[in-house]
Amino acid sequence: MRFFDREAEFEKLREIEELSQEVAQFTIITGRRRIGKTELVKQFYARKTLLYFFVARKAETDLCDIFIEEIRTKLNIPMIDSKGITFATVFKFIMELSQNQHITLFIDEFQDFFRVNSSIYSDMQNIWDSYKSTAHIHLIVAGSVNTLMNKIFKDKKEPLFGRQTGTMHVRPFRPSVLKEIMSEYCPEYKKSDLLALYTLTGGVAKYVELFIDHKKFTEKTMLNMFFERDSYFVSIR
């Protein structure tokens, strides 16, 4: 399924991106799992340079190896040997680099730093506070565990409390968008088909994509897929 909607989110990202050319911006992107947060950012920056850091549940040094390779590849900048390096070193390098050039950094599944090394948040606070006044950076973080994201940014006891300059909450597709999707992929759809798509997915992008990619356009075929044995919908909810 191709990318649909998100015009309002794109417009907000355009505004923030323009601001970040002069003043450092720190944007939080929230929303339930599979709503399309990552795809939203990647689509917006499809023709722009974007550093993408995915916080997998790995050792910090292993993550930093991946992050450093991303910097080398996207920015064509040699870095120091990554052996034994910490995320604080990587983040400081990026913030220093942004003093002289604009950088967009997207950290996905940001809450999982708790599993990697919870002191990373304190390190980031110190580095961000030290460099933000002269940095040309748009730092974007996204997370799919709202309780942890709220703890990181809304708990006054946490180091990154209040550091964000903006928040974007990604919402499910509206019925009008689902209608547009059905019109493109199944022009002869019935109202009951549209209702089934909305009822079974709640407008969540990933669930809609599953039906569309499997060519389940009618109420009957959607219900069969939804309730089939070993249904993928059971495993992802």
Which structure tokens are listed for 45?
């920056």
Both 197 and 159 in one domain: the answer is no
User: What does the pLDDT read at residue 206?
Assistant: 94
Structural domain span for residue 202: 175-229
Together in a domain, 93 and 210: no
187 in the same domain as 112: no
pTM, 2 dp: 0.91
Report d(CA 1, CA 171) in Å as an integer.
18
Residue 236: the pLDDT is: 53
Here the CATH number for the domain that contains residue 141 is 3.40.50.300
Q: Is 140 left (phi over 0), alpha (psi -120 to 50) or beta?
A: beta
Q: Which of 233, 171, 223 shows the shortest CA–CA distance to 193?
A: 223
| Any domain includes 147 | yes
In a shared domain, residues 154 and 180:
no
- 103-127: b or e for each residue (b if 16 or more CB lie within 10 Å)? bbbbbbbbbbbeebeeebbebbeeb
Q: What are phi and psi of 236, to 5 degrees?
A: -100, -10
- Shared domain for 153 and 67, answered yes or no, is yes
Query: Does residue 84 share a domain with residue 111?
Result: yes
**Predicted confidence pLDDT, tens digits, the chain (237 residues):** 999 999 999 999 999 999 999 999 999 999 988 999 999 999 999 999 999 999 998 999 999 999 999 999 999 887 666 677 899 999 999 999 999 999 999 999 999 999 999 999 999 999 999 999 999 999 999 998 888 999 999 999 999 999 999 999 999 999 999 999 999 999 999 999 999 999 999 999 999 999 999 999 999 999 999 988 878 787 654
30 and 123 belong to one structural domain? yes
Does some domain include residue 88? yes
Question: pLDDT tens across 33-52, in order?
Answer: 899 999 999 999 999 999 99
DSSP state of 46: T
Q: Are residues 121 and 153 in the same domain?
A: yes
Are 189 and 163 members of one domain? no
Residue 30, SS3?
strand
- How many domains does the chain divide into? 2
Residues 115 and 180 in one domain: no
Q: What pLDDT is recorded for position 81?
A: 66
Phi then psi for residue 181, to 5 deg, are -65, -45
In angstroms, the CA 186 to CA 179 distance is: 10
The helix/strand/coil state of 56 is coil
Say whether both 73 and 15 belong to one domain. yes
- Residue 126 in any domain: the answer is yes
pLDDT of residue 156: 92
Pair (33, 137) in one structural domain? yes
Q: What is the CA radius of gyration of the chain?
A: 20
Does residue 1 belong to any structural domain of this protein? no
